[in-house]
Structure 1
């Protein structure tokens, strides 16, 4: 395979990220097929034509079903709002296409289960957009854990905070509708859960509490509308490696812009990382002499693959879109049948089950096994 035909459904924030990744993966990595940007779909033909011109796609349509029916499209990026993921991904799989779908899988657990079944039956690659696991820092932290650099892990804390919903007078929009999901749990929580999956294999049981900082928001049509989702979540976790864990999520945290922080405590040290400083991590090990022990900051460098594919010098740093390019390369590896670091629909379903277990835990005020 020298080329692969790409279809893109949705051109918002994540749609643009996918387009940049498809355009950048071949120049960065050099191997694998060259993506051919075949077809782009949007909610109207006019918008689709505009975005196709901007993103470099050959064809455009206002009907996503026409894109899926296109025989030249071999892999479909689904970057639409959460409620549309299941229908579009399943249709693409049933049409014999590979799928790259943004997180979360679906709003309803039953839909996520149908997606996993469709992927298994189609025999095609179906990957989810968990690009934070691709960060060279996270990959290196995983290697440190495997090597026992901090001994036996006994506790881990995960936080994700942003302030895009911190203003109580910000207009009501779809992320406050029940049709979008639970709120912080599935909009946010799936990202820390993807890191937990990559580093510890997942969770075994959960205990959660959800909160709404604001009961309603102003509506652009006038008046106010009830907030139907939960913007704050606090969760106790049991990890599959036997350690205890805590996950704290907040979409209304003033001052936090893109924070995913993890602290991993072991019998011989600690690892700390914050996504707002995504090109560094802190390492504390007891192997140093007692008078010289302390956290040291490690900056990303060519030694932290695949950083070297982008930049030959240490300390210069990668960004969000570079992680998306790495994810795109892993997707192409999976399609080629070579080892790949992706979260497929089967693994993604485990994350979805954890999210729904957390919501059940909140409503029933008890521990829930995942």
Structure 2
């Protein structure tokens, strides 16, 4: 199916809340999605940030018509059809629920929520407003190499999947001199490495392997206190986590994530072992997919190119690399397709709840087996 043929043909109004790294990614995606995939050029109506001064400055930089320091104003604006939320984790639930109740579609960055109870409430709210589309910012699902890997597994290229091994490591918190921040608290950040990084790995895992039914895990706080202007403060959430999993299919899995892994920048790496082959992917080399099939001597390297989903919309030549921000443009396209009545590629809030169940089970395990309510495939 050509998703681009199902895009809205009338311009929709967009509000953006938040102007950090992901806010800029959303702004670029909204400015580029029509140029890449066609359809209407959507209106950048209003931008919200913490202060009037910063909101005005970023509205000019990002190309939004208006600015406000009150996110409630952006959500309620009658000219707005879609709300992009890239604010800190603790604001995800109130902002998303307010947007849904105001009749808006919602593009929300991960993690979905601070707590499992919040995620359950958000999924229930979304279900109560079926006319509004929700999508979560799991952009790594949009890379052509990952989409190709998912297709190979779905089509039986490596036989029956029997095991998953995955790692997502970064080192942004490895320096013990890094100051304390809200990200290291349950109230502001929720989970630590699991919420920042591990949820991405879980999104890949569920898409490739199906539902998880059992989890046993351990978490660790490597640097228990951090400096702050008010003196040393305790780090409340995990720096790393390790887990073993059982999938509903009977396959097994291993999982590791860390925000204190020295030298690792974006090591979202996994392999799926099948009864007739293996597929290997690493986000730090996101334009390569390695595939082994029974009877071959080793692995075959596949470069991203026009034969993989969504690549040609950006470039007609194989081997010309795809990038992080291109993933966000594909994500914006997928949201627009769903708004126009096409399939929702997700994860929507219901599917996001499945991801939250897994990472919160890992956080709660402490060496005990946690049974997860069986999810729909």
Q: Secondary structure at the match of 1:331?
A: helix
Task: For 1:354 and 1:264, locate their aligned partners in 2 and report how far apart those are by CA, in whole Å.
Answer: 19
Per-residue CA distance 1:264-290 (angstroms, 9 max, x = gap):
1111111111000000011111133xx
The answer for the alignment partner of 2:196 in structure 1 is 187
- Decide whether the 8 Å contact of 2:161 with 2:209 is kept in 1: no
Q: CA deviation at 1:222?
A: 5.2
Corresponding position: 1:321 with 2:330 = no
Q: Secondary structure at the match of 1:208?
A: strand
Corresponding position: 1:205 with 2:214 = yes
Task: For 2:342 and 2:209, locate their aligned partners in 1 and report how far apart those are by CA, in whole Å.
Answer: 23
Match of 2:160 among 149, 152, 158: 152
- Decide whether the 8 Å contact of 1:231 with 1:251 is kept in 2: yes
Corresponding position: 1:215 with 2:215 = no
The answer for the alignment partner of 1:368 in structure 2 is 370
Corresponding position: 1:62 with 2:103 = no
Corresponding position: 1:102 with 2:77 = no
Task: For 1:69 and 1:344, locate their aligned partners in 2 and report how far apart those are by CA, in whole Å.
Answer: 22
Corresponding position: 1:45 with 2:45 = no
The answer for the alignment partner of 1:20 in structure 2 is 28
- Decide whether the 8 Å contact of 2:271 with 2:278 is kept in 1: yes
Per-residue CA distance 1:58-111 (angstroms, 9 max, x = gap):
010010111111100000001001100000000000000000000011102121
Match of 1:79 among 81, 86, 90: 86
Q: CA deviation at 1:296?
A: 1.6
- Decide whether the 8 Å contact of 1:183 with 1:231 is kept in 2: yes
Task: For 1:178 and 1:346, locate their aligned partners in 2 and report how far apart those are by CA, in whole Å.
Answer: 23
The alignment's C-alpha RMSD in Å is: 1.1
Q: Secondary structure at the match of 2:124?
A: helix
Corresponding position: 1:343 with 2:347 = yes
The answer for the alignment partner of 1:267 in structure 2 is 275
- Decide whether the 8 Å contact of 1:193 with 1:202 is kept in 2: no
- Decide whether the 8 Å contact of 2:270 with 2:280 is kept in 1: yes
Corresponding position: 1:35 with 2:37 = no
Task: For 2:56 and 2:326, locate their aligned partners in 1 and report how far apart those are by CA, in whole Å.
Answer: 26
Match of 1:279 among 282, 287, 306: 287
Task: For 2:26 and 2:316, locate their aligned partners in 1 and report how far apart those are by CA, in whole Å.
Answer: 24
The answer for the alignment partner of 1:311 in structure 2 is 315
Report how many residues are paired.
Answer: 362
Gaps in structure 1 of 5+ consecutive residues: none
The answer for the alignment partner of 2:300 in structure 1 is 296
Q: CA deviation at 1:182?
A: 2.1
TM-score (norm 2): 0.94
Gaps in structure 2 of 5+ consecutive residues: 1-8, 373-377
- Decide whether the 8 Å contact of 2:140 with 2:200 is kept in 1: yes
The answer for the alignment partner of 1:228 in structure 2 is 236
Q: CA deviation at 1:256?
A: 0.5
Point out 4+ residue stretches in structure 1 off by more than 3 angstroms. none
Per-residue CA distance 1:188-243 (angstroms, 9 max, x = gap):
11101111222122311100100011111121x15321111111100111123321
TM-score (norm 1): 0.96
Task: For 1:313 and 1:11, locate their aligned partners in 2 and report how far apart those are by CA, in whole Å.
Answer: 33
Task: For 2:270 and 2:316, locate their aligned partners in 1 and report how far apart those are by CA, in whole Å.
Answer: 27
Match of 2:357 among 353, 364, 369: 353
